[in-house]
Structure 1
Amino acid sequence: MKLNKTLLMFSLLTATSATNAGQVEVLHWWTSGGEAKALNALKDMLEEQGHDWKDFAVAGGGGESAMTVLKTRAVSGNPPSAAQIVGHDIQEWGGLGFLTNLDDVAKQGGWEQVVPPMVTDIMKFNDGYVAVPVNVHRVNWLWANPRAFEKAEAKVPTTLEEFFIAGDKLKAAGIIPLAHGGQPWQDATVFEAVALEVLGSEDYLKAFVELDMDVLSGEKMVEVFTQFKKMRNYIDANSPGRDWNVATTMVINGDAAMQIMGDWAKGEFSAAGKVAGKDYICVPAPGTSGQFTHNVDSFAFFELSDEKSKKAQKALAATILDPKFQEVFNLNKGSIPVRLDMDMSKFDTCALDSMADFKSTAKTGDLVPSMAHGMATTSYAQGAIFDVVTHFFNDKNADPKQAAKKLAKAVKAAI
């Protein structure tokens, strides 16, 4: 009789779960090996709760293609449940009236107690949660293959001067010094790393957050463009159009020695079975030790009409900040958890260094938002910067002084 009661209860629970099940459609651009593996953990956890996951992946590391598709869907009245949207873009979507309020989920999950204000502020529109943070990426990383450096008898650089010295030795040894993909967002990722070193944290913030015209057109920015142009000499001729993960594979295989890229690159090393500190080295981008350029991945949640879909949507929001998911996801993605109360014992040295620097730079004023990844300014100003930076980087005859003037002029026209 006891067994029959248990079976009956299980049947009722299963039926209830099926009845309450909803579907979430999630738009994202996480299609590389490490990224896809990380996202599958979220899908699995949601399906365990009885909800269906509809994957809406649009390839393209910077998310430009995904945003184009999202705008079409939203305007036509058929938005997904959630979409990968970052930084200032969250405010823009909130202002258009497309996003739904998640305050009830946030209160139940105690988000305010476990996520730093620097992150929660970005997730709100009109003081209400409309998005959920997934992780914290450090963008100003240099990834290096130690065997390539041994072969060239070179030292992994800690300054821009050391980068150029190592680059010459690597070229002489027949190794591509810097793996790079010639796409605007990748050009901007390298550019902002150089800018952080040359400008320093204070002027970096003036340039890319405050959009200070004097800094954007000033002598220090001329020097940024000068150093940035020199880096072009250490990139191979096949870089135009190359995806970032293909560039990472070049470092993994030893075809190239270094890559300046956010710590999502670590997910590719992990997926290839490589061990931090042994098979690859992670150090701050040249000259940026003690500084941290952050990129917070997040999902914004759209207003839906179907009640079952709303329930599934809220389950998704709660699951993203669940400690279990935070651990599994970030171990695969290469980033660090956005929760400050996490057990970090399973994380490698790169992640431990990243978490320590994340906390310390928040106190020193050296924690700065990534311009290249939509955290520092509006999409309009970012687009103007991208245009100038990419055009400069691909023009052998481009003049750094003229580039700085163009940068200020383009940004001014965009705001």
Structure 2
Amino acid sequence: MGNITKIAAATIGLAAALSASAGEVEVLHYWTSGGEAKSAAELKKIMQAKGHTWRDFAVAGGGGDSAMTVLKSRVISGNPPSAAQVKGPAIQEWAAEGVLANMNGLAKAEKWDDALPKVVANVMKYQGNYVAAPVNVHRVNWLWGSADALKKAGVSAMPTTWDAFFAAADKLKAAGLIPVAHGGQNWQDFTTFESVVLGVGGPKFYQDALVKLDPKALGSDTMKQSLETFRRIKSYTDPAAPGRDWNLATAMLIQGKAGFQLMGDWAKGEFLAAGKVPGKDFLCAAAPGTANAFTFNVDSFIFFKLKDPAAQKAQSDLASALMSSGFQEVFNLNKGSIPVRTGQNMDKFDDCAKLSSKDFTETAKNGGLVPSVAHGMAIAPATEGAIKDVVSQFWNDDKVSVADAMKQIATAAKTQ
């Protein structure tokens, strides 16, 4: 889902691993929940069909931080796995250490540059060379609606502007329902905040303020308006929100107790698992004001330099499998996300995924495709953490003024 540091189902193999033997591929990943585990099994099957041995570097019960610690010690000792699940700016941090393999030969042969939007391909490269492969794209700027709750409140359509959103929220409140289901964790607060900034200011402002961290943008009237809108949303959440997990917030929509949730498309997995049908039981729309934009969260794998030729071949076959349209279809049908390859056949996907895919392709062309800060795709982890803390403090404490929050965000943006 989001942050590598907080993946609840994150997993680590702490057992000392043997050096990669001929045709063995060892992979550190976090795919242990239902749909994800099915996808890992699918990948294992593809590799075994090519004659390779698959080895999971994953055991339930750990956290992303300890996974990275174990990975670092393995790499330092000269015994890296074939691949590890790493994303966003962390890819460049690993590459800067000089430990990642150059995958350009394969990428060229399989035309990765043609298959991926440039903004996504750039995240997978270091100094112009591919060092990682993406498996999916999650859209973060979604607004989900409960058909039951909205009907009960007399809300006839999903709101496309913040004014319409607040008018609908007032109707939900009047009907005795919770207008906005929210969970109190800093990444959830920031998921909402970045959608507000995108909706109020548009993609260029979002890039300037939250990705480039431009002081002028951070101190602008548009940022002031974004924080005011963000605070207004808080007034429509319920008192039990602090500490609530995101999936429990989604459950409030499934039960018809709440009207809206601002959350990435992993929320769709919860609706589908509960037997709910998109367009009938639940509704999906881009967050207000963001129909022409797309905040992306991409899961990917980095590839380590290996000495053994058989292991290198297995690694290359793994990268090829991850990028194949067949695996991307299976994986994303299980995960709720969409294939990262543009031009992928979407016939088997639901309407929300089809809309996501269409918008992904269009925003890649018009400049509306932007990285999610909340989900570790845009800025250095220390800076991201500092800004998230400020935004959550503002969300949770009405005594923090908008002017103070603006100053604190500008200061946090300088954190290295």
- With the shorter chain as reference, the TM-score category is 0.7 to 0.9
Structure 1's 305 and 257: CA in aligned 2 closer, same or farther, altered over 3 A?
farther
State the match for 1:228 in structure 2: 230
1:163 and 2:165 aligned: yes
Higher helix share: 1
State the match for 1:99 in structure 2: 100
Q: Sequence identity, in percent? A: 49
- Larger mean CA deviation between 181-190 and 156-165 belongs to 156-165
* Kept after mapping to 1: 8 A contact 2:87/2:376: yes
C-alpha deviations, 1:238-260, integer Å up to 9, x for none? 33333323322332232322211
Aligned residue type for 1:104 = G
State the match for 1:399 in structure 2: 401
State the match for 2:261 in structure 1: 259
Cα deviation for residue 149 of structure 1 reads 0.7
Look up the SS of the partner of 2:170 in the other structure: helix
State the match for 1:379 in structure 2: 381
* Kept after mapping to 2: 8 A contact 1:74/1:98: no
Aligned residue type for 2:201 = L
Aligned residue type for 1:250 = M
Q: 1:292 aligns with which of 277, 294, 316?
A: 294
* Kept after mapping to 2: 8 A contact 1:331/1:347: yes
Give runs of aligned pairs for residues 96-135 of structure 1, distance below 5 A: 96-135=97-136
State the match for 1:175 in structure 2: 177
Cα deviation for residue 306 of structure 1 reads 5.6
Give runs of aligned pairs for residues 129-278 of structure 1, distance below 5 A: 129-155=130-156, 156-278=158-280
* Kept after mapping to 2: 8 A contact 1:137/1:262: yes
Residues of 2 paired with 1:358 and 1:318: CA distance?
Answer: 22
Cα deviation for residue 351 of structure 1 reads 1.7
TM-score (norm 1): 0.86
State the match for 2:28 in structure 1: 26
Structure 1's 298 and 232: CA in aligned 2 closer, same or farther, altered over 3 A?
same
1:83 and 2:56 aligned: no
Structure 1's 107 and 401: CA in aligned 2 closer, same or farther, altered over 3 A?
same
* Kept after mapping to 2: 8 A contact 1:27/1:66: no
Residues of 2 paired with 1:55 and 1:172: CA distance?
Answer: 52
- Larger mean CA deviation between 180-189 and 34-43 belongs to 34-43
Aligned residue type for 2:171 = K
Aligned residue type for 1:74 = K
Aligned residue type for 1:213 = P
* Kept after mapping to 2: 8 A contact 1:369/1:376: yes
Look up the SS of the partner of 2:183 in the other structure: coil
State the match for 1:361 in structure 2: 363
Cα deviation for residue 91 of structure 1 reads 0.7
Residues of 2 paired with 1:283 and 1:236: CA distance?
Answer: 22
Cα deviation for residue 310 of structure 1 reads 4.0
* Kept after mapping to 1: 8 A contact 2:125/2:132: yes
The alignment's C-alpha RMSD in Å is 2.4
Structure 1's 53 and 271: CA in aligned 2 closer, same or farther, altered over 3 A?
farther
Structure 1's 332 and 265: CA in aligned 2 closer, same or farther, altered over 3 A?
same
State the match for 2:8 in structure 1: none
Unaligned runs of 5+ in 1: 1-18
Structure 1's 157 and 118: CA in aligned 2 closer, same or farther, altered over 3 A?
same
Aligned residue type for 1:183 = Q
C-alpha deviations, 1:76-98, integer Å up to 9, x for none? 53654322222212111111223
Give runs of aligned pairs for residues 312-351 of structure 1, distance below 5 A: 312-351=314-353
* Kept after mapping to 2: 8 A contact 1:24/1:312: no
Residues of 1 paired with 2:263 and 2:61: CA distance?
Answer: 18
Structure 1's 258 and 32: CA in aligned 2 closer, same or farther, altered over 3 A?
farther
Aligned residue type for 2:69 = K
Look up the SS of the partner of 1:121 in the other structure: helix
Residues of 1 paired with 2:102 and 2:162: CA distance?
Answer: 45
State the match for 1:73 in structure 2: 71
Cα deviation for residue 53 of structure 1 reads 3.6
Aligned residue type for 1:123 = M
Look up the SS of the partner of 2:123 in the other structure: coil
Residues of 1 paired with 2:163 and 2:278: CA distance?
Answer: 25
Structure 1's 308 and 245: CA in aligned 2 closer, same or farther, altered over 3 A?
farther
State the match for 2:13 in structure 1: none
Cα deviation for residue 142 of structure 1 reads 0.7
TM-score (norm 2): 0.86
* Kept after mapping to 1: 8 A contact 2:27/2:57: yes
Structure 1's 379 and 48: CA in aligned 2 closer, same or farther, altered over 3 A?
same
Unaligned runs of 5+ in 2: 1-20
Cα deviation for residue 400 of structure 1 reads 0.9
Look up the SS of the partner of 2:58 in the other structure: strand
Residues of 2 paired with 1:102 and 1:209: CA distance?
Answer: 27
Residues of 1 paired with 2:351 and 2:206: CA distance?
Answer: 27
Structure 1's 38 and 282: CA in aligned 2 closer, same or farther, altered over 3 A?
farther
Equivalent pairs counted in the alignment come to: 391
* Kept after mapping to 2: 8 A contact 1:270/1:332: no
